[in-house]
C-alpha cells in the first residue's frame, strides 16, 4: 500500500499522442496522476473535463496532469478528441501500473463483484515523492481539491 511521503512507483506508459511518458522524465515538476475506470463514461468524462477546464491553473503551479486507465490508445484518442482534452492520457492495458499504485481493486455493482480501477489521484512532488493521495474520489469538486493541495 502506498502512503504519502514515500517515493512514487516509477512507470513508463504509452500516451495517446504517440509518446511514452515516464515519471523519471518529469523530475522537477509536480505531477497529478489520476486513475479512472473508463473513457466515455459519465463520471470519467466529468473528471477529465474538470481537469481540462483548470489546466491553466495547474500549469501556473508548474504541474503536469496525466490521466491513466486500462483503455487502449485508440479509445483514448477518441475520448480526447471528443472532449478537447489537452493533457496526455496514458494506456495501462496490462494493468501493471494500476497494480503498482494499488488502484486495481475488487468492486461491486448490484451485488456483482468484479475487478476494476478505483478512481484515485496521486499528487507527486518534483522529487518523485507522493505528496497527497485522494482515494475513492467523488468527481464533483475533485479537481479543485487537487489544485488546493498543490
What does the pLDDT look like over 68-126, one tens digit per residue?
Answer: 999 999 999 999 999 999 999 999 999 999 999 999 988 887 888 888 899 999 999 99
Report field, pTM of the whole predicted structure over 0.75: yes
Q: Is 44 noted as a catalytic residue in this protein?
A: yes
Q: Which of 44, 66, 117, 146 is catalytic?
A: 44
Do 97 and 9 form a contact (C-beta atoms < 8 A)? yes
How far the first Cα of the chain sits from its last, in Å, is 22
Q: What does the radius of gyration of the chain's CA atoms come to, in whole angstroms?
A: 14
pLDDT digits (tens, 9 = 90+) for 19-42: 999 999 999 999 999 999 999 888
Q: Which CATH number fits domain 12-149: 3.40.30.10, 3.40.50.1010, 3.40.50.460, 3.20.20.80?
A: 3.40.30.10
- Is-contact 69 38, C-beta < 8 A? yes
Q: What is the dihedral of CA 89, 74, 38, 122, to 10 degrees?
A: -20
Q: Which residues pair with 89 in a beta bridge?
A: 67
Domain boundaries of the chain, sorted by first residue: 12-149
Return all residues near 56 (Cβ < 8 A) that are at least 6 apart. none
Amino acid at each position: 500500500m502506498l502512503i504519502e511521503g514515500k517515493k512514487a512507483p516509477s512507470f513508463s506508459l504509452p500516451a495517446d499522442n504517440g509518446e511514452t511518458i515516464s515519471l523519471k522524465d518529469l523530475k522537477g515538476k509536480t505531477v497529478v496522476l489520476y486513475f479512472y475506470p473508463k473513457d466515455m463514461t459519465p463520471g470519467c468524462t466529468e473528471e477529465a473535463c474538470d481537469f481540462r477546464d483548470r489546466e491553466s491553473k495547474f500549469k501556473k503551479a508548474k504541474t503536469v496532469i496525466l490521466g491513466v486507465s486500462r483503455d487502449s490508445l485508440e479509445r483514448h484518442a477518441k475520448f480526447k478528441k471528443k472532449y478537447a482534452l489537452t493533457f496526455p492520457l496514458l494506456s495501462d492495458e496490462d494493468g501493471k501500473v494500476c497494480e503498482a499504485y494499488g488502484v486495481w481493486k475488487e468492486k461491486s455493482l448490484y451485488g456483482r463483484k468484479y475487478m476494476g480501477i478505483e478512481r484515485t489521484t496521486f499528487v507527486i512532488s518534483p522529487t518523485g515523492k507522493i505528496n497527497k493521495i485522494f482515494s475513492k474520489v467523488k468527481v464533483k469538486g475533485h479537481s479543485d481539491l487537487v489544485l488546493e493541495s498543490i
